[in-house]
Structure formats: C-alpha cells, structure tokens
Amino acid sequence: MSLDFESFADNTAISTEFAGITFSNAVVVTAGLSLNELIFPPRSGFNVALDSLGPIEISFSAPALSLAGYFTYTTGMTLTAFDVLNQVVGVTNSAFSNNTANSLNPSNELLQLSFAGGISRVTLAGGTNGGSFAVDDLAITTPDSTAVPEPGTILLVAAGLALLRRR
C-alpha cells in the first residue's frame, strides 16, 4: 500500500482515512499553502504529512511486514516498530541531525523498518512538540501484498500458456 497524501486538503488531520491504519499526531500540509516547501520539499506532488503536537504514531489493524517513507526533518529522526505484545522489534535512525532543503544534507531521506513477525504500530519521532518533520510516499507492506499465488492460479496461468503455444 502506498500513501502519498495527495487526496487531502491542506491542514487535514489524518486519523482513520486509510483502511486498517490509524494515524495519531499527523496533519496533511500543502506546498504553497501551509507547507514551506523551501524547507520541507515534497518528494512527489504537493502534499506531505507533518508531525503535529508530537511524534506520529501509526497503528495497523493487522500486522504489517514493513514501512518505508521519505523524510525531511529539522532534528534527528527515530522510527520504532512494535509487535502485538508492544515489544520493540526494530529501530531506524536518520543519517543526519537535519536534512531540510537549506541544510547541506539531501532532503527526502528514505527510512524503513521491517519485521517478518509483524509490526502492529510504528512511532515516527523527531522533535517532541511536533512540526519537526515531513513524510511523503509512505509504503506499507502487509502479508496480503506479498502473498504467493495459490496453486490453482498457477495452474490456470500454465494452462493458458499451453493453449497459446498450440496455436
């Protein structure tokens, strides 16, 4: 599942707009309106999610296998993944203490977490009071999105190919 936030109006608080995913402390901001794109350039489109009032927390109704996104930040970032027992199962730190467009570091750093046992929630933490990072183009992998086709599907494809070869 890919989340680019483009379908939301400027200053929209994000909570349960995506099926099976709940956001806390996230607001969509738009370049040229409430987003200063000279500091936080979007990776794609015009919208990004910004941390509002503290770290963003993303909870999954069914465990995810991975989360990846492109981050621009004013302070170092830490992504932390938790399993269904609320135990930490992964931590990723940003490469820089600041990568805004006016820093000497590249903006939109790819940060990612994965855990084969399933991630039930993730915290995206920069500054404690919010307004410290923008995230764009989140990619969430679920067990369904990596499913191997059932044998019946493979047999149907093979039969179709066999028929094509006969012609």
- Whether the CB-CB separation of 42 and 6 falls below 8 Å is answered with no
pLDDT digits (tens, 9 = 90+) for 113-148: 999 999 999 999 999 999 999 999 999 998 876 444
Rg of the chain's alpha carbons, rounded to an integer? Answer: 19
- Whether the CB-CB separation of 73 and 39 falls below 8 Å is answered with no
C-alpha 7/C-alpha 14 separation (Å) is 11
Number of domains in the chain: 1
C-alpha 69/C-alpha 4 separation (Å) is 10
pLDDT digits (tens, 9 = 90+) for 35-82: 999 999 999 999 999 999 999 999 999 999 999 999 999 999 999 999
**For the stretch 108-143, what's the b/e string if a residue is b when 16 or more beta carbons lie within 10 angstroms of its beta carbon?**
bbebebebeebbbbbbbbbbeebbbbbbbbbbbbbe
C-alpha 155/C-alpha 165 separation (Å) is 15
Q: Which residue has the tokens 């409430």?
A: 34
Determine the structural domain holding residue 76 and report its residue range: 2-166
Residue 52's CATH number = 2.60.120.1360
Residue 154: the pLDDT is 47
